[in-house]
Amino acid sequence: MAHLSSYKYKAHRVERIVERSLERRRAVRYELQVPVAFFWENAEGGKFQAEGVTRDISDVGVYVLSEKCPPLKSKVRVEVMLAQQGIASASLKGNMWVLRVEDCPEGFDGCGFALAGATFSLSDAAHA
């Protein structure tokens, strides 16, 4: 995205374009729609679990669409299911923090939320 700044120098008007990158992410994100389960506790110690689908994923985070979202700044245990028919199933697991919670786009009931944390660990069905 560019920001247009105007400057006046004597009788001349100078317009200059200042490039400002809005991209603050340090990791490459990949579009991937697969099932995800996530777990969190509230301040009173109540335990919650829900399921959803990923929108995109990186090595240090994931964006999830779900009917139920954890609160902002919650610590969440997440398990992204990687499975294909006829192939052994595997999952990516991690402990992450909720960075933001948003309303979902039209046509989807629920919400979306961004998680970030340390890298995922890979687990196969034999070691789950």
Name the CA radius of gyration of the chain, rounded: 20
Contacts 24+ apart (CB under 8 A), 79-82: 79/36, 79/37, 79/38, 80/34, 80/35, 80/36, 80/54, 80/120, 81/34, 81/35, 81/36, 81/37, 82/34
- For residue 94, the model assigns a pLDDT of 94
pLDDT reported for residue 65:
94
Question: Is 7 inside any structural domain?
Answer: no
**pLDDT value of residue 28:** 87
**pLDDT at site 21:** 31
Q: Does the residue 11 lie in any domain?
A: no
Its pTM stands at 0.73
Query: Does 89 reside within a domain?
Result: yes
Q: Is residue 35 in some structural domain?
A: yes
Measured distance CA(30)–CA(37) in Å, rounded = 19
CATH number for the domain harbouring residue 63: 2.40.10.220
Residue 112, domain extent: 25-127
Residue 102 inside a domain? The answer is yes
pLDDT in tens, the chain (128 residues): 343 333 333 333 333 323 333 345 567 888 999 999 999 998 899 999 999 999 999 988 999 999 999 999 999 999 999 876 666 688 999 999 999 999 877 777 889 999 999 888 888 765 44
- Location of structure tokens 């697969």: 34
CA distance 108 to 117: 26
